[in-house]
Amino acid sequence: MSRPTRLTALTFDFWNTLYSADGGSWSAVWPRRLQALRDMLASAGVHPSDEDMEKVYRSGWDAYMAAWTGGSHFGAFEEARYFLERFGLDESALADGVISQTVLEIENSARLGSLPLVPGVAETIPRLAAAGYKLGLISDTSLTPGRVLREFMEEDGLLKHFSVLTFSDETGYPKPDRRMFAGTLAGLHAEPAESAHVGDTPRTDIAGAQALGMLAIRCAGVSDQAEPPEADFVIHDHREIVGILEQLG
């Protein structure tokens, strides 16, 4: 595939691209989420042991991965329903509003965590925006929704530089679905041939971008997933993007 002579837009993944999911502290988040699920079950008279709760919580990750690789979104609502099913409960066993409150507590608990920026992000994003590049974000989400991820970006001064943010909990489908990329570029008023996507996961980020005709840059600064499909460029620090842009002219 021929490379563009000049890029006008760049889109970024969130997890392990802008923010490190491995280097942050999520120690206060998981217990709060488990407690929210425990309270939901208790409202229906079910009181599992700690061992059973943790077992189902771990298997919920497998359910998320199956949905994600199958092209479906799996968020806090799906997590709550999964727990009900595993403990033999129907939604009708709960009082009105219990599920929605549980979902809200699961989602908002992410605010208790900390997420460090990937190397070079703090310097590079403002520089790209100042240079006139149109910036967008394309992110899959799980139990932490886009509305909370926006808060992390706002706190770190990144949000103001992005014109379009696309999250799978808001679209209902994850990457590499073509609509995730096409919709973002449409919002940016950018053509695929003049756009690049930066992400860490070959199956979703690289494949999805290349299928639309975008340049694909794999971020290996946190998680080096060197598997097919091969990206056009690989970076370990976001400051390397500036060199790529200069190379493209």
Q: What is the pLDDT of residue 140?
A: 97
Q: What is the pLDDT of residue 197?
A: 98
* Structure-token match 């009900």, residue found: 84
Measured in residues, the chain has a length of 249
Q: Which amino acid would we find at residue 211?
A: A
Residues of the chain with pLDDT under 50: 1
Q: Which amino acid would we find at residue 53?
A: M
C-alpha distances in angstroms, 8 versus 129, 132, 213? 11, 8, 14
Contact yes or no for 81/64 (Cβ under 8 A): no
Q: What is the pLDDT of residue 24?
A: 77
pTM: 0.94
Q: What is the pLDDT of residue 4?
A: 52
Q: What is the pLDDT of residue 1?
A: 46
Contact yes or no for 125/158 (Cβ under 8 A): yes
* Structure-token match 């290349």, residue found: 210
Q: How does DSSP classify residue 65?
A: H
Contact yes or no for 241/124 (Cβ under 8 A): yes
C-alpha distances in angstroms, 244 versus 129, 165, 234? 16, 23, 10
Tokens linked to 67: 């949905």
Q: What is the pLDDT of residue 3?
A: 53
